[in-house]
C-alpha cells in the first residue's frame, strides 16, 4: 500500500458512446436484477479459483483512506461448517422464540425463514466477512480505520455481484449476534463479524419467495 502522494495518469478509462453506455447499463441492470437470495443449496462444490477471483473483485472496492478494513474467511471444511451451523441455529432459535418483536417476525413472514439453517452445512462454501476498526503495523503501531462499516458494505456488494455474475447463488445470512464466528474461525476479538455469505449452487427444487422490488419512482427522486 502506497503511503506517498505519488500520482499516476488515470489509464484505461473507457470512452463509450452515449448509446453504448445505455446499452451497458441496461445489460448490467438486467443481469444483476436476476439475482435472488437462495435458501436451498446443493452440495455441488465450487472451485476455489472462482471464489478467489470474486474475492479479488471485492478487494478492489473503495474504502475509507484506502485502508481496506476487511477480512474474508472462506470456509469449506465440513467440520467448521457444522460448528457454524450449530452456533448459528442456537442464536437463531433464541431470536425467533424470544428476541424478535412481533413486528419483526411479521416483516420476515413473506421470506419463510426460521431457526433451521441446514444450508450452512449443505452449501459448499461460507464466506465470513469481518470489518476491522483498526489494524496494527508489524511494529505494533495501531492504525485507525475510517468508515469501516461503509467500506465493508461496499466490498460485500462487489462480492455478491461478482459471485452472481460468475453464476453462483448467494445468501446474505446474519445470525445475530455473530460473535461466535470470531471464536470458530480464530479471528481476533476486535474484528466485527459483518455478514455470513452462503455461496454455492441452488438445489434442483429450490424455491424463492414471491416478492417484488420497488419501482424506480418509489425509491428515487431527481432534483
Ligand atoms: N437472522 C435471521 C432473521 C432474519 C432477519 C432478516 I432483517 C432477514 O432479512 C432475514 C432473516 C435469519 O437469518 O433467519
Digit-by-digit pLDDT tens for the chain (223 residues) are 556 689 999 999 999 999 999 999 999 999 999 999 999 999 999 999 999 999 999 999 999 999 999 999 999 999 999 999 999 999 999 999 999 999 999 999 999 999 999 999 999 999 999 999 999 999 999 999 999 999 999 999 999 999 999 999 999 999 989 999 999 999 999 999 999 999 999 999 999 999 999 999 999 999 9
Q: Is 74 in the pocket of ligand 1 (CB under 6 A)?
A: no
d(CA 179, CA 187): 10
Q: Is 92 in the pocket of ligand 1 (CB under 6 A)?
A: yes
Identify the DSSP state of 148.
H
> Which residue's CA lies nearest to atom 7 of ligand 1?
108
Are β-strands 125-131 and 192-200 bridged in parallel, bridged antiparallel, or unpaired? antiparallel
Q: Is 191 in the pocket of ligand 1 (CB under 6 A)?
A: no
Ligand 1, residue 104: give the atom nearest the CA: 7
The CA-based diameter of the chain, rounded to the nearest angstrom, is 57
Q: Which CATH architecture has domain 44-203?
A: 3-Layer(aba) Sandwich (3.40)
Q: Which of 38, 106, 113 to mutate to test the pocket of ligand 1 (most atoms within 8 A of CB)?
A: 113
Integer angstrom CA distances of residue 208 from 66, 175, 205: 37, 20, 10
H or E, element range at 152: helix 148-166
d(CA 131, CA 135): 10
Amino acid at each position: 500500500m502506497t503511503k506517498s502522494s505519488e500520482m499516476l495518469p488515470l489509464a484505461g478509462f473507457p470512452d463509450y458512446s452515449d448509446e453504448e453506455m445505455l446499452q451497458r447499463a441496461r445489460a448490467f441492470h438486467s443481469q444483476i436484477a436476476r439475482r435472488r437470495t437462495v435458501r436451498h443449496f446443493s452440495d455441488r462444490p465450487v472451485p476455489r479459483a472462482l471464489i478467489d477471483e470474486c474475492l479479488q473483485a471485492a478487494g478492489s472496492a473503495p474504502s475509507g483512506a484506502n485502508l481496506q478494513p476487511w477480512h474474508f474467511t472462506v470456509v469449506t471444511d465440513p467440520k467448521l461448517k457444522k460448528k457454524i451451523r450449530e452456533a448459528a441455529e442456537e442464536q437463531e432459535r433464541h431470536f425467533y422464540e424470544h428476541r424478535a418483536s412481533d413486528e419483526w417476525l411479521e416483516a420476515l413472514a413473506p421470506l419463510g425463514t426460521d431457526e433451521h439453517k441446514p444450508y450452512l452445512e449443505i452449501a459448499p462454501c461460507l464466506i465470513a466477512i469481518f470489518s476491522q476498526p483498526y489494524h496494527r503495523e508489524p511494529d505494533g503501531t495501531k492504525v485507525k480505520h475510517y468508515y469501516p462499516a461503509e467500506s465493508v458494505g461496499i466490498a460485500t456488494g462487489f462480492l455478491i455481484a461478482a459471485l452472481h455474475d460468475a453464476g453462483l447463488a448467494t445468501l446474505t445470512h446474519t445470525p445475530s449476534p455473530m460473535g461466535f464466528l470470531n471464536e470458530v474461525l480464530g479471528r481476533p476479538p476486535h474484528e466485527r463479524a459483518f455478514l455470513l455469505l452462503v455461496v454455492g449452487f441452488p438445489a434442483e427444487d429450490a424455491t424463492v419467495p414471491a416478492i417484488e422490488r420497488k419501482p424506480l419512482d418509489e425509491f428515487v427522486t431527481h432534483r
